[in-house]
């Protein structure tokens, strides 16, 4: 079944880093971008950035520049998003999505990141 499966929930202290994985199943991984969005509790969706798994090209929303890094491991069909210097308002569910043009046609189940001292 075509799907994206994300890593499990994380609890981190302020200032720490988190790395979330997103594994793709049953489609040609390099053929589609991977987008990352997040959703704070009770709030709407917010774009974080995207990566082209074929070339490694990335584009990040400016507010995350310098704190986020997106990478992929083509050999295992997996994308990663690392967010550094975590703050309490980074607490959110993070979703990876398979990108077609500029939208996501398939989304992972989400990874809850809680930032708390």
Partner 1 sequence: EIVMTQSPATLSVSPGERATLSCRASQSLGSNLAWYQQRPGQAPRLLIYGASTRAKRVPDRFTGSGSGTEFTLTISSLLSEDFAVYYCQQYNDWPHTLGQGTKVDLK
Q: Is 62 in the site for partner 1 (CB under 8 A)?
A: yes
41 binds partner 1 (CB under 8 A): no
3 contacts: CB under 8 Å, gap ≥ 6:
24, 25, 26, 106, 108
Q: Does 58 interact with partner 1 (rule: CB under 8 A)?
A: no
Tell me if 107 contacts partner 1 by CB under 8 A.
Answer: yes
- 82/105 with CB nearer partner 1: 105
Number of residues that bind partner 1 (CB under 8 A): 22
Check residue 46 for interaction with partner 1 (CB under 8 A). Answer: yes
Q: Report the alpha-carbon distance of residue 113 to residue 78 in Å, rounded.
A: 19
How would DSSP label each residue in 5-23? EE---EEE-TT--EEEEEE
Under the binding rule (CB under 8 A), the answer on residue 32 touching partner 1 is: no
**DSSP state string for 62-82:** GGGTTTEEEEEEGGGTEEEEE
Rounded Cα distance, 36 and 65, in Å? 14
Query: Judged by CB under 8 A, does residue 1 bind partner 1?
Result: no
103 binds partner 1 (CB under 8 A): yes
Residues that bind partner 1 (CB under 8 A): 35, 37, 44-47, 59, 61-62, 95, 97, 100-110
């Amino acid at each position: 079944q075509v799907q994206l499966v994300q890593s499990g929930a994380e609890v981190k202290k302020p200032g720490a880093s988190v790395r979330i994985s997103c594994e793709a199943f049953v489609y040609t991984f390099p053929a589609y971008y991977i987008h990352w969005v997040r959703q704070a509790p009770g709030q709407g969706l917010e774009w974080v950035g995207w990566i082209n798994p074929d070339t490694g090209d990335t584009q990040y929303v400016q507010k995350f520049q310098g704190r986020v890094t997106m990478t992929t491991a083509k050999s295992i069909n997996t994308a990663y998003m690392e967010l550094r210097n975590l703050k309490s308002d980074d607490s959110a569910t993070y979703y990876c999505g398979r990108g077609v043009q500029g939208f996501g046609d398939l989304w992972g189940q989400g990874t809850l990141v809680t930032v708390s001292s």
